Structure 1
Amino acid sequence: MTLAAADTIAGLVKGLAVLESFDTERQRLNATLAAQRTGLSRAAARRHLLTLAHLGYLETDGHDYWLAPKVLRLAGRYLASARLPRTVQPVLDRLAARVRESFSVAVLDDEAVVVVARSVPAAAQEEGGDVLGGSLGEPASLRPRARLLAYGLHLGARLPAHATSTGRVLLAALPAAQLRAWLAARCAATGRLPRLTPYTVTEPAALKRVLREVRQQDYCLCSEEHELGVHAVAVPLRDLQGRTVAALNAVLSQQRLQAGAVQRELLPLLQEAALALRPLL
């Protein structure tokens, strides 16, 4: 969306930029660091930090600032009111209960995908028998008890789009011009995409080839490119107009990957769920 300068509230833009400058790399900021991260002057950054602390969105010890729980009001209200998370959550819960893997739905936001819904199998299900009609060809006793989850994966988590299954599904759906612009912005500084593991695809041309394959097969399997030991398969979630609005994925272990769980059970289940969700998106 393009907004005219006359319709823009500059102070709100700057205040949100200060809030977004906090991340896992920098959980605490002072005025100098906030200024560096936002491009504001130190004096302006200090005023925004003080205001946000006064409003309860930041906490401070008088020198450093950090996010306060009140920030979660914004995320909580999105999850409570947005249609997509409410629509997909029951489906994720059923999938997690059925095959005892972790499932997520993510959307594209700039350089990252954002997890807007997820479901993890209950610990009690790991101990009990098969649920919802039994296992899909594999006794519960033979399934690994420890289910792998990507580090830090939670509602609202931001994961690098180029190195994740959901991200590649969403990038593959972009129009060609938009994808070129996305790659140009991500590679402007170094000419490459960030390397996260020894297996991460970092060359733009190589990623384009991967995305072509994703478009052709209409799903993506991504192995250890975001985090070692983590494998995930994703499919697009489309609305009735054929637009890709999100991506649905399952995370699985190396053992399950080698046992053929993707093609045998996970991919068919994901595709079935995507088809069932289509009229609702």
Structure 2
Amino acid sequence: MTLAAADTIAGLAKGLAVLESFDTERQRLNATQAAERAGLTRAAARRHLLTLAHLGYLETDGSHFWLSARVLRLAGAYLASSRLPRVIQPALNRLASQTQDVYSAAVLDGDEVVIVARSAGLAPVNPLLAYGRHLGARLPAHATSTGRVLLAALPREQLAAWLRGRELRRITAHTVTAPRAFRALLAQVAEQDYCVATDEHELGVHAVAVPLRTRDGRTVAALNVVLAPGRLSDAQLAADILPRLRAAAGEIRQLL
């Protein structure tokens, strides 16, 4: 969405940038660190940090700041009011009860994907689940099965804009980072209408994703399953994994 300068509240944008500076890598920030991450002066970052703490969105020890539980009001409001997670959730639960694997759905947000629904409490505890399985987890789009499905579904102009000047971060030795190779990979994903990502975001993690489309054909999310090593073979992919995902995506499509 393009917004005229006269309609923009710069202070709000800066405050949100400071709030978004906190993530799993940087859970506690001081004013200098927040300024660097949000692209502000230290003085401006400090004012925003203090204001957010006053409003209850941050906690502080006087030097460092960290997110408070109040931030969950924002995420909770999305999950409670957005139709997409509510429509997808029953299908994820049903899939997990059938296979004991972990299923999730993600949407594209800039250079990341965000988990908006996941099968909760049905699959056994698995050490692989450090791979961002919780609601709201953000994962790099270029190195994940869901991200590649969503990028491959973008119109040509939007994909070109997303790729333009972007450096694809190497996360493991298997991450595809060369621009030409990545474009070819997305073309393959678009043609086959699914994506398999192995060891690219986290070693030992194998994920398969398919697009979730509305009845008019728009891709609005991606559905994926995470499998343990040894669970993914060409035969299993063709005979069981893909048919199960595509059947669920077809059911969900009728509701979107």
Q: TM-score, normalised by structure 2?
A: 0.96
2:204 maps to 229
Structure 1 gap ranges (5+): 127-144, 188-192
Moved more, 35-44 or 46-55: 35-44
User: Aligned equivalents of 1:273 and 1:53: distance in 2?
Assistant: 43
1:129 maps to none
2:34 maps to 34
Deviation at residue 41 of structure 1 after TM alignment:
1.5
Pairing of 1:92-107 with structure 2 (within 5 A): 92-107=92-107
User: Aligned equivalents of 1:241 and 1:150: distance in 2?
Assistant: 35
1:60 maps to 60
2:132 maps to 152
User: Aligned equivalents of 1:210 and 1:270: distance in 2?
Assistant: 21
Deviation at residue 256 of structure 1 after TM alignment:
1.0
1:198 maps to 173
The verdict on how the C-alpha distance between 1:92 and 1:262 changes in structure 2, with shifts beyond 3 A counting, is: same
Q: Does the 8 A contact of 1:100 with 1:120 survive in 2?
A: no
| Percent identity for Structure 1 against Structure 2 | 67
Q: Does the 8 A contact of 1:96 with 1:121 survive in 2?
A: no
Deviation at residue 122 of structure 1 after TM alignment:
2.6
Letter in 1 for 2:63: H
Please tell me whether residue 182 in structure 1 is matched to residue 196 in structure 2.
Answer: no
User: Equivalent of 1:267, from 224, 232, 242?
Assistant: 242
Q: Secondary structure at the match of 1:222?
A: strand
CA RMSD of aligned residues (A): 1.5
Q: Secondary structure at the match of 1:248?
A: strand
Q: Does the 8 A contact of 2:151 with 2:159 survive in 1?
A: yes
Q: TM-score, normalised by structure 1?
A: 0.87
Please tell me whether residue 276 in structure 1 is matched to residue 256 in structure 2.
Answer: no
CA deviations 1:28-49 (Å, max 9, x no partner) are 1111111111121211111111
Structure 2 gap ranges (5+): none
Moved more, 24-33 or 103-112: 24-33
Q: Does the 8 A contact of 1:108 with 1:167 survive in 2?
A: yes
Please tell me whether residue 167 in structure 1 is matched to residue 142 in structure 2.
Answer: no
Letter in 1 for 2:202: E
Q: Secondary structure at the match of 2:166?
A: helix
Q: Secondary structure at the match of 1:114?
A: strand
